[in-house]
A and B are shown apart, each in its own frame.
Chain A
Amino acid sequence: MKEFILIFRHEDGHKVASPEQIQIWMKQTMDWVGGIAAQNKFVEGNGLPFDDSRVVWHNNVVTNGPFGDIKETIGGYIIVKANSVDEAVEFAKGSPVLQGDGNSVEVRQIAQRDSIH
Chain B
Amino acid sequence: MKQPELIPHLFRTEFRKITAVLCKLFGIAHIEIAEDIASETFLRAIETWPYKGIPENPTAWLYTVAKNKAKNYIRRDQVFTGKIASQIKHTLSGIEEIEIDLSEQNITDSQLQMLFTICHPSISTEAQIGLALRILCGFGIDEIANALLTNKETINKRLFRAKDKLRTEKVKIEFPGAAEINKRLETVLTTLYLLFNEGYYSESRDTVLREDLCLEAMRLTYLLAENEHTSKPVVYALLSLMCFQSSRFEARKNANGEMILYQDQDETLWDQELISKGMYFLNISAQGDKISKYHLEASIAYWHTIKEDTHEKWENILQLFNQLLQIEYSPIAALNRTYALSKANGKAAAIIEAEKLGLTDNHFYFTLLGELYKGIDDDKARKNFQKALSLAKTQTDKQTIQKKIDIL
Contact = CB atoms under 8 A, between A and B. Distances in A.
* Chain A in direct contact with chain B (Cβ < 8 angstroms): yes
Interface of A: 27, 30-31, 33-35, 37-40, 42, 44-45
B356 A33 contact: no
A31 B345 contact: yes
A27 B233 CA distance: 27
Nearest to B337: A38
A31 B344 CA distance: 11
B319 A38 contact: no
Given A31-B318, A34-B321, A35-B356, A42 B341 contact: no
Closest 5 CB pairs of A and B: A34-B322, A37-B325, A38-B334, A40-B329, A30-B322
Contacts of B333: 38
Given A30-B319, A30-B322, A31-B318, A38 B357 contact: yes
24 contacts: A27-B315, A27-B319, A30-B322, A31-B318, A31-B322, A31-B341, A34-B318, A34-B319, A34-B322, A37-B334, A38-B325, A38-B329, A38-B333, A38-B334, A38-B353, A38-B356, A39-B334, A39-B356, A39-B357, A40-B329, A40-B334, A42-B325, A42-B329, A45-B326
Contacts of A31: 318, 322, 341, 345
**How would you classify the secondary structure of chain B's contact residues: helix, strand, loop or mixed?**
helix
A34 B325 contact: yes
B345 A38 contact: no
Nearest to A29: B322
Interface of B: 315, 318-319, 321-323, 325-326, 329, 333-334, 337-338, 341, 345, 353, 356-358
A15 B265 CA distance: 49
Contacts of B337: 34, 38
Contacts of A38: 325, 329, 333-334, 337-338, 353, 356-357
Given A30-B319, A40-B334, A35 B353 contact: yes
Nearest to A35: B353
A92 B64 CA distance: 70
Nearest to A45: B326
Contacts, number: 47
A7 B399 CA distance: 48
B322 A33 contact: yes
Contacts of A33: 322, 326
A45 to B, nearest CB: 7
A44 B325 CA distance: 11
A36 to B, nearest CB: 9
Contacts of A39: 334, 356-358
A37 B326 CA distance: 6
Contacts of A35: 353, 356
Contacts of A27: 315, 319
A75 to B, nearest CB: 18
A28 B325 CA distance: 16
A105 B329 CA distance: 25
B163 to A, nearest CB: 36
A15 B325 CA distance: 31
A31 to B, nearest CB: 7
A55 to B, nearest CB: 29
A9 B230 CA distance: 44
Nearest to A38: B334
A39 B325 CA distance: 9
A27 B314 CA distance: 13
Nearest to B340: A34
Contacts of B353: 35, 38
Contacts of B357: 38-39
B356 A37 contact: no
A76 B393 CA distance: 44
B360 to A, nearest CB: 13
Contacts of A30: 319, 322-323
A45 B322 CA distance: 13
A30 B315 CA distance: 11
Given A34-B337, A38-B337, A40-B334, 20 more contacts: A27-B315, A30-B322, A33-B322, A33-B326, A34-B318, A34-B319, A34-B321, A34-B322, A35-B356, A37-B322, A37-B325, A38-B329, A38-B338, A38-B356, A38-B357, A39-B334, A39-B357, A40-B329, A42-B329, A45-B326
A42 B345 contact: no
B311 to A, nearest CB: 12
A1 B87 CA distance: 54
A63 B198 CA distance: 57
